[in-house]
Structure 1
Amino acid sequence: MSLSSNLRKYLTDHGATKVGYADISDVTIMPELKSGVVFYITYPQDILRGMANAPTEEYVLKLVNLNTKLDELGMLCEEYLIERGYKAYAQTKKRLGKDFGEFNSSELPHKTFATKSGLGWIGKSALLTTKEYGSALRLTSVMTDAPLEYGNPILESNCANCNQCKNACKAGAISGIEWNYRLKRNEFYNDKKCEEYALKISEINLGKADTVCGKCIYACPYTQRYMNSK
């Protein structure tokens, strides 16, 4: 088996739902690291089914749990590659910190790795969206110099005329403009409106202000299909 196959199996054996590899040479923030490893873990279907009045306590607890698990997997991936003689850097939440800049986005987002690897596209909600799971997932990424078998980049949205997430967003944060790889997030999505509403609705639903909502995740038809599958 190749390095790519072995690493994919290693990560899925340790809990990743799906793994992709991307050529990040044109966007990397570490010039010597031109390959990207990206992987995600999906939300359980039972938690999604309870999110009609998102956010819920169960959703928030699972979100935190998945973030922790992804950080652990990111470090395992980094160690796996270093042990085999490659350079690697996991973009864990701990390393990235809490300050994501003016538009609440890191310098090289995990979603960029994901679209470049062919795992999915960016929905109108500004979330990574896949045909298998909708946007009911959390993801992370690792930069490396390892020679990996890259996927085919996705350059355009598959949302077409669907506006379910826009209609569900009570913050008015989703413009309805369809993503393509040339667009910056703030050109089709307003993170400030999202954050403002999330703080209010989480106070109502959870009893404490937090930047979580989840209404757009629940509304996505691809999420609904996954949520209601056996």
Structure 2
Amino acid sequence: MELYEKLTEYCEAKLTLYGFANLEENKEAVFLDQLKRYDYAIAIGINIPDNIVDNLDTDEGRKKYLEAYTQVNNLLNENASHIVEIIKQYGFNAVNVDSSYILPGENFVGEISHKLVANLAGLGWIGKSALFINPYYGPRVRWATILTDAALPVENKRMKSRCKSCRLCVENCPVNAFDDKEFSEDVSRDERYDAGACASYFDRLESMGKPRLCGLCVKVCPWGLVNKNSRKKEDKI
């Protein structure tokens, strides 16, 4: 399929990670009803540089992380827009889903679960921290999604959790937001992760004049540490 080859070529050149997923029987990944008409998805990821993540436990480090976080999100959205245009050139419909937009309300969810799409694409698993964990980059990657009606030749290969007995994210969370439970489709996110606790903590940091973020769970995850010295792709920012 010429489109598939074109998309693969683009993603290989521009992104840290990417994968394709079939959503026909996995509409639970989509939270906005008008997006559920699309049956195929492309998960795209860009890593946050290790030297940024490794200094998250300092105020200056958090400022640099926030800058990098914003840069990566913008770059993801830019690349997603380019991918949408490529798909449309072949006569199909497509839409990019913003990497960081949160729907109004108290549920703290976006228009789609980028993590579930990436899981369907076989790029990793959702960890005890509710972060998406790639076996090579750990949770040090930001994600965006492109939805399309182009019938891409893909077969979902979900990766099971490899967190096992590790509790580093649980033990290092300053607000005890994680319940030490591995991801399961049968267990709601609220049973595993208290997103409200993180949001309240961010509010408190902001009131103190500090960046509205934490990221300790990103820093301490061993899957983000184990391959640091062997990562082959260059940082995108």
TM over 0.5: yes
Q: 2:172 aligns with which of 165, 168, 172?
A: 168
Indicate the residue corresponding to 1:33 in structure 2. 38
Match of 1:122 in 2: 126
Distance 1:208 1:160, change over 3 A: same
Deviation sequence 1:25-59 (CA, Å, 0-9, x none): 13054354200111100011211222244761111
Unaligned runs of 5+ in 1: none
Evaluate the alpha carbon distance shift between residue 126 and residue 31 of structure 1 in structure 2; reply closer, same or farther with a 3 A threshold.
closer
Equivalent position of 1:79 in the other structure: 85
Match of 2:56 among 31, 51, 61: 51
* Aligned-partner Cα distance in 2 for 1:216–1:151: 31
Contact 1:155 1:181 in 2 (8 A): no
Distance in 2, matches of 1:168 and 1:202, equals 20
Q: Percent identity?
A: 28
Please state how far the C-alpha of 1:81 moved relative to its aligned partner.
0.2
Q: Match for 1:215: what amino acid?
A: L
CA contact (8 A) 1:38 1:110 kept: yes
Indicate conservation of the 8 Å contact 2:103/2:111, yes or no.
no
Deviates more, 1:187-196 or 1:25-34: 25-34
1:22–1:46: structure 2 CA closer, same or farther, 3 Å change rule? same
Residue 221 of structure 1 and its aligned partner are, at CA, apart by 0.3
CA distance in 1, matches of 2:8, 2:157: 18
* Aligned residue in 2 for 1:219: 220
Does the aligned pair in 1 maintain the 2:161–2:183 contact within 8 Å?
yes
Match of 1:11 in 2: 11
Q: 1:110 aligns with which of 93, 114, 124?
A: 114
Higher deviation after alignment, 44-53 or 157-166: 44-53
Structure 1 residue 22 corresponds to structure 2 residue 21: yes
Range moving further from structure 2, 41-50 or 74-83: 41-50
Partner of 1:141: 145
Cα 1:45–1:126, aligned 2, differ >3 Å: closer, same or farther?
Answer: same
In the alignment, the residues of structure 2 paired with residue 145 and residue 48 of structure 1 have an alpha-carbon distance, to the nearest angstrom, of 36
Secondary structure of residue in 1 paired with 2:226: helix
Q: 1:67 aligns with which of 73, 77, 81?
A: 73
Q: Distance in 1 between matches of 2:102 and 2:156?
A: 31
May I ask how many residue pairs the two structures share in their alignment?
224
**CA distance in structure 1 between the aligned counterparts of 2:189 and 2:222, rounded to whole angstroms:** 21
* Matched letter for residue 4 of structure 2: S
Task: Answer with 50-59 or 119-128: which moved more.
Answer: 50-59
Amino acid at match of 2:151: P
Unaligned runs of 5+ in 2: 232-237
**Amino acid of the structure 2 residue aligned with 1:166:** V
**CA separation of 1:215 and 1:68: change in aligned 2, threshold 3 A:** same
2:182 alignment partner in structure 1: 178
8 Å Cα contact 1:48/1:227 also seen in 2 = no
| TM-fit CA distance, 1:184 | 2.1
Contact 1:203–1:209 (CA under 8 A) maintained in structure 2: no
CA distance in 1, matches of 2:81, 2:211: 30
Is 1:103–1:186's contact at 8 Å kept on the other side of the alignment?
no
Shift in Å, 1:102: 2.5
